[in-house]
Structure 1
Amino acid sequence: MTKTPAAEFASDSPAPVPPTGGPSSPAPEQKGFFGHPRGLATLFFTEMWERFSFYGMRALLILFMTATAEKGGLGFSGEKAGAIYGLYGAGVYLTAMPGGWLADRILGQRRAVLFGGCIIALGHFSMALPGTFFFFLGLLLIVLGTGLLKPNISAMVGGLYPEGGARRDAGFSIFYMGINIGAFTAPIVVGLLGERVNWHVGFGAAGVGMVFGVIQYLLGGKHLGEVGKKARSADLRPEAPGQLEKSGGSRMAGFTVVGVLVGLLVVLQLLGVVDLTSAVGLARAGGFIIVTLALAFFAYQFTAGGLDATEKRRLAVIGVFFIASTLFWAGFEQAGSSLNLFARDATDRVVFGWEVPASTLQAVNALFIIALAPVFAWMWVRLNKQGREPSSPAKFSLGLVLMGAGFAVMVVASLAAAGGHKVSPAWLVLTYLLHTLGELSLSPVGLSTVTKLAPQRVVGQMMGVWFMSMSLGNLIAGQLAGLLGTNPTPIFGAVAAVAIGAGLLLAIAVRPLRRMMGGVH
C-alpha cells in the first residue's frame, strides 16, 4: 500500500470534507507544531503509530502464512496465502468508504478514529494468539478498524485549516512524513521480533504500537478544538423537495445492484466457476464484483447520467486511468508478497555474519519516499514554471514503465538465483527504487486528476470507483504471488512486459487523451 501523500489521501478521504465543526466552531490552536496547530501533532503521531502497526504486520503477513508449522507458521500454500493477502489489501481500501459514511452520519470523525484505533489494536492482539481462528479474526478487525480510522484522520487534518490554501498543503506534507516514519521503522522493529523471536510477538508488537497511538490521541485530543467532534448528518439531510425521494431511489438502486451480484455469485458457485469456500475463490469473486461494479457505474453514467459530450470524453479518460491504476498496483503491491518471498528464499541477507530478516527490506520503499518525495515536488513545480511539466497521461505512462522496469530487474535477479543460488539484496533495492520513482510519478496524479475530470455532481462516487482500482490491483497482486512457485521468472517477466507495454501504449495515446480531457492538465 503506497505511502505518497496523494495516494494515502485518496484512500483516506472519499470526497472533499468541509470543516467539521461548522463556521461557528471554535478554531483549534493555531501555533505549536512547526508553526502549525497543536492538533496536527496529535494526528501526526496517531497516524505514525497506526502506520507502524499496519506496515509491521504487513511485512510479516505472507511470510507467516507460508512458513511451515515447524517454524511456527500456518503452512499455507503460496496460492492460498497470496489470495488471503490480496483480499486483505483490497478490504483495507474498500472499507474506507463506509468508514467515512459512518463518521459523517453517525459517529463523527473524532470517535470514528478512536474506535478504529481500538479495533485495529484488538486485531493485532488477536493475531498475537495462536490458531487460525484468531488469525482470521485479527485480519478482519484490522480491515474494519482501518476503514474507520483512515478516511477520517486525514479529513480531520483538513479541518485544522478552515482557511485552506498553501498552509493546509504544508500541514498535509508534515502529516504524511509521519506516515513514512511509521512505514520505515515498522518492518525493522516488528519484522525483527516476528522473524527472530516469534511471529506472534511481532504481531503483538504491532498492536502495542497502535495502543501508543490511541493513548497519544486521547491525551492530545484537547488540542483539536471542535474538529471532528460531530457527525455531519444534519448537514447531509435532504431538505429540498424531491431530494428525499432521490436519496431513497439511489438506495433502492444500490440494493438492486447488490442483490444482482449476490445472485450471480450463487449461480457461478452452482456452475463451479468460482469456489466461495476457498480463499482463492473468494479473491476471484472479489475481483468479479469490483469489475462488475466499475463497469456498471461507467455504463450508467454514459447512458443515463445526463452527461454532456465533454463530460463523457473526460469520463472515458478516467476509465483509461482506472485500467492503468489497476495494472500499476497489481505490480507495486507485490512488495509485501512475491518480492517479500524472494527476499526470504533467494536473497543473500548476511551482513557482517548476521542474517538480516527478510521483512526488513520492506523499509526500503518508505526510505526512498522520504528522500525523493521533496525532490519530485520541487521538480514538478520547476517544470511547471518552465511550461514543461508532463501531462497527467504522460506521468501515468512513466509510472507504469518504471514499475515494469523494476520487474525487469527482478527477471535478471531470478535468473541469477536459478538452481538455489542466493543473490545480492541490491537487486531488490534497485527494484524498490524504480517502483518508488514510478509511484511518485503516478500515485500523486490519480486523486487530483480524477477530481478534476469527474462531473462535480458524482465526484464522490467517482472517488469510490477510483478506490476500486486499488482494491482490484491488490487482489491481482495476491493472485500473482500465489503463482510464484519455485521459478518466479515467468511471473516477473509477465508483469514487466504488461506494465511496460501498457505504459508505452499510454505514451502513444497521450495527445488524444489530452484532447479528450478538455483543458484539464
Structure 2
Amino acid sequence: MSVKSTEDPFFKNLVLGHPAGLFVLFFTEMWERFSYYGMRALLVLFLTTSLAEGGWNWSVQDAMALYGTYTMVVYFTPILGGYLADNYIGYRWAVVIGAAIMTLGHASMAIETPLFLYIGIGCLMIGNGLFKPNMTSIVSNAYANHPEKKDGAYSLFYMGVNAGAFLGIMLCGYIGEKVSWSLGFGLAGIFMFFGMLQFYFTQKIFGDIGLPPTDASKAAIKAKEAQDNIAPNIIRDRIIAVVIFSVFSVFFWAAFEQAGGSMTIFADKFTQRELFGNSAMIFKFSDAFLTLVPLLIITYVLIKLFAKTVKEYALGNSILSLSFILIWGIVIWKIYRDFSATGTEVPASWFGILNSLFIICFAPLFSKWWESRYNISGPMKFGLGLALLGLGFGFLAYGSMGINADSVVRVSMFWLVAAYLFHTLGELCISPVSLSYISKLVPASWIGIMFGVYYLFLAMGNKLAGSMGGLIETITAQYSLSTFFLIFTIVPVGLGLIMIALSPLMKKLMHGVK
C-alpha cells in the first residue's frame, strides 16, 4: 500500500506537484546532459572538418567508429557503477565522484591533442558509469512508496535531461562551430562542474536516500522484499520482461542515435543551411524565440525550487543560480552576435536541439497522459515509440530521394525538423518509461545493478548506431541516401508492430505491474 505524501519526509516540500528533491536531481542531471550532448554535438563534426577549418580531417567512417565506441562504452560502464553504488559507496558518492571525473574529461578534450582526446573520452566513460545509473536509482528509491507517481516523476526528470541536452547542443555546438572547438568542448566541462557542486551541497534534501549501504540498510531491504512476499517465479518472469524491453531498446537506440552521426552529416552536407534577407531574419527571430522560451521555463522551475529550499540549502542554490546567470549571459551574447550579422548559416549541430526542444514541450503532456485513466500499458508504449521513430526516418527517406554520392543537392530543413519531432514523440514513449518500469519490476536490492544491465543493452544499441551510421557513404554510393534512411524506417516500424503483438504475453510476465 502506498504511503501518503504527508507521511513521507521526502514529500514535505512540493514543487509542481512533486518533491523539491526531484528537481535537485532534475538540475544535476540537466548539467550532466549539457556536458554530454554538448560534446556529442561537436565530436563527429570536429573530427571530420578539414584541417584548414580547425578540424582533424578524419574520414566519416573512422569518426563514426570512434563515436560508436564512445557511446557504447558510456552505456557499458554503468553496470560497474551500479554494482559499486549498491554494495559499497552508495548512490550519492557515485554521482559526485562520477561528475568530478567527467569534469576532468571535458577539460582534457579542450586541449585538442590526440593524447588528451583519448584521455578525455576515457574519463567521460568512467565518470558516466558512476553517474548515470545512480541518478535514476535515487529517483527510484525516493518514489519507492509512491509507484503510482513514478511514470510522471521520470517524465519530469527526463525533461531535465533534455533541458540540458537542448542548452548543451545549442551553446557548445554554436561556440564550437562559430568560435573555437576548444571553447565548445571546455564549456561542457564548466557546467558539469557546477552540476557536481550543486548536488553535493544540496544532498541532505534526500534524507537517508542514496547513502552508502550498511548491514542494517541491506537487512531492511531484504526484510521489505520478504514482506512483499514475491514468489521466485514471479521475480523470474518480471526479469524476463525487463530483458525483452531491453532487447527492443537496442534497436530503438541504434536508430535514434543516428542524431549524433548520420543525421548530423545529412544536415552538414545535404541540407540548405545558408539563409539571406528575410529568410535569415525569420530564422534569427525563430532561433531567439526557441532559445529564450525553454530557458524561461527552466528558470521558472529554478525559481520555484529556490522558494522552497533557499533557507536550508543556500550554498547549493547560490551555485545553481550562478550557473543560470552565466547561461543567460552566453545566450544574450549569442543572440546579439547573430542579429549583428547580415546573413546566417545555420550550424549543422543546431538541428540536434530540436529533440530536446520537443521533449521540453511535450514531456509535461506525456506525464499527464501516463497518470490519467487513458494510460496505456508498457508494451503498447514501446510499440508506439518504435513506430513513431520509424515514421520520423520516413520523412528523411522521402526528403532525400534522388540524392546519391555525387549529388550537390541541398534539401529543405523541413525534413530534419519533421524527423526530430517524430523521433522525440517515440522517445517519450520509451526512454523515461523504461526507467520507470525497471524500477517497478526489479527487486529493490537489484535496482542499481539492473539499471546497469539496462544501460549495457543501450551500449549495444549505440555501438550498432555508430557501425550502421558509418555505412552512410557506402550505401549512398551503391544505392541512394533515401535507401539508407529507408532501412531505419522499416526496421523500427516492424519491431513496433511485433511488440504490440507481444503485449498480452508481456502483461502476463509483468504480473500486475502497470
Specify every segment of 5 or more residues in structure 2 that has no aligned partner in the other structure, as ranges.
1-6, 223-230, 281-342
1:491 to 471, 484, 506: 484
1:362 to 352, 355, 358: 352
Is contact 2:133–2:452 with CA below 8 Å preserved after alignment?
no
Specify every segment of 5 or more residues in structure 1 that has no aligned partner in the other structure, as ranges.
1-22, 241-305
Counterparts of 1:168 and 1:398, CA distance in 2:
20
Is contact 1:28–1:227 with CA below 8 Å preserved after alignment?
no
Aligned pairs (5 A) from 1:469-488: 469-485=457-473, 487=476, 488=481
Which residue of the partner structure matches residue 394 of structure 2? 408
Aligned pairs (5 A) from 1:58-137: 58-137=40-119
Is contact 1:104–1:232 with CA below 8 Å preserved after alignment?
no
Counterparts of 1:150 and 1:415, CA distance in 2:
39
Give the C-alpha shift of residue 101 in structure 1. Answer: 2.5
Change in CA separation of 1:349 and 1:216 when aligned onto 2, cut-off 3 Å: same
Change in CA separation of 1:102 and 1:451 when aligned onto 2, cut-off 3 Å: closer
Is contact 2:136–2:435 with CA below 8 Å preserved after alignment?
no
- Tell which deviates more after alignment, 419-428 or 164-173: 164-173
Which residue of the partner structure matches residue 379 of structure 2? 393
Counterparts of 1:424 and 1:204, CA distance in 2:
32
Which residue of the partner structure matches residue 318 of structure 2? none
Aligned pairs (5 A) from 1:111-510: 111-157=93-139, 164=146, 174-221=156-203, 223-225=205-207, 227-232=209-214, 235-236=217-218, 308=233, 318-351=242-275, 352=280, 353-384=343-374, 389-415=375-401, 417-418=403-404, 419-450=407-438, 463-485=451-473, 487=476, 488-510=481-503
**What RMSD in Å do the two structures reach over aligned CA positions?**
3.5
Counterparts of 1:452 and 1:359, CA distance in 2:
36
Is contact 1:86–1:475 with CA below 8 Å preserved after alignment?
yes
Counterparts of 1:41 and 1:454, CA distance in 2:
24
Is contact 2:82–2:130 with CA below 8 Å preserved after alignment?
yes
1:55 to 24, 31, 37: 37
Counterparts of 1:37 and 1:513, CA distance in 2:
32
Change in CA separation of 1:40 and 1:450 when aligned onto 2, cut-off 3 Å: closer
Change in CA separation of 1:38 and 1:440 when aligned onto 2, cut-off 3 Å: closer
Give the C-alpha shift of residue 446 in structure 1. Answer: 3.0
Give the C-alpha shift of residue 53 in structure 1. Answer: 0.9
Q: Match of 1:332, SS? A: helix
Which residue of the partner structure matches residue 5 of structure 1? none
1:496 partner amino acid: T
- Tell which deviates more after alignment, 449-458 or 490-499: 449-458
1:67 partner amino acid: T
Change in CA separation of 1:422 and 1:110 when aligned onto 2, cut-off 3 Å: same
Give the C-alpha shift of residue 513 in structure 1. Answer: 5.0
Counterparts of 2:364 and 2:419, CA distance in 1:
20
Q: Deviations over 1:48-72 (max 9, x none)?
A: 2111111111111111122233322
Is contact 1:124–1:138 with CA below 8 Å preserved after alignment?
yes
Change in CA separation of 1:404 and 1:175 when aligned onto 2, cut-off 3 Å: closer
Give the C-alpha shift of residue 468 in structure 1. Answer: 2.6
1:82 partner amino acid: M
Counterparts of 1:420 and 1:357, CA distance in 2:
18
Counterparts of 1:457 and 1:227, CA distance in 2:
14
Give the C-alpha shift of residue 463 in structure 1. Answer: 4.5
Counterparts of 1:520 and 1:227, CA distance in 2:
24
Change in CA separation of 1:237 and 1:80 when aligned onto 2, cut-off 3 Å: farther
Give the C-alpha shift of residue 105 in structure 1. Answer: 3.2
Give the C-alpha shift of residue 127 in structure 1. Answer: 0.3
Q: Match of 2:409, SS? A: coil
Change in CA separation of 1:125 and 1:450 when aligned onto 2, cut-off 3 Å: closer
Q: Deviations over 1:98-126 (max 9, x none)?
A: 21332333333333222211111110010
Counterparts of 2:142 and 2:494, CA distance in 1:
43
Q: Deviations over 1:223-276 (max 9, x none)?
A: 555554434466448999xxxxxxxxxxxxxxxxxxxxxxxxxxxxxxxxxxxx
Percent identity between the two aligned chains: 41
Counterparts of 2:51 and 2:21, CA distance in 1:
46
Is contact 2:82–2:448 with CA below 8 Å preserved after alignment?
no
- Tell which deviates more after alignment, 401-410 or 502-511: 502-511
2:32 partner amino acid: E
Counterparts of 2:147 and 2:509, CA distance in 1:
29
1:392 partner amino acid: G
Counterparts of 1:27 and 1:212, CA distance in 2:
27
Q: Deviations over 1:496-520 (max 9, x none)?
A: 1222222233344444555666655
Give the C-alpha shift of residue 441 in structure 1. Answer: 2.3
Counterparts of 2:137 and 2:51, CA distance in 1:
43
Give the C-alpha shift of residue 317 in structure 1. Answer: 5.1
Is contact 2:86–2:448 with CA below 8 Å preserved after alignment?
no
2:483 partner amino acid: P
Give the C-alpha shift of residue 192 in structure 1. Answer: 0.5
Counterparts of 1:228 and 1:450, CA distance in 2:
18
- Tell which deviates more after alignment, 193-202 or 167-176: 167-176
Give the C-alpha shift of residue 187 in structure 1. Answer: 0.9
Is contact 2:79–2:449 with CA below 8 Å preserved after alignment?
no
1:45 to 8, 24, 27: 27
Q: Match of 1:420, SS? A: coil
Is contact 1:94–1:467 with CA below 8 Å preserved after alignment?
yes
Give the C-alpha shift of residue 378 in structure 1. Answer: 2.8
Give the C-alpha shift of residue 375 in structure 1. Answer: 2.0
Q: Deviations over 1:285-312 (max 9, x none)?
A: xxxxxxxxxxxxxxxxxxxxx975x777
Counterparts of 2:116 and 2:412, CA distance in 1:
36
Counterparts of 1:128 and 1:33, CA distance in 2:
37
Q: Deviations over 1:471-497 (max 9, x none)?
A: 111111010111111723332122212
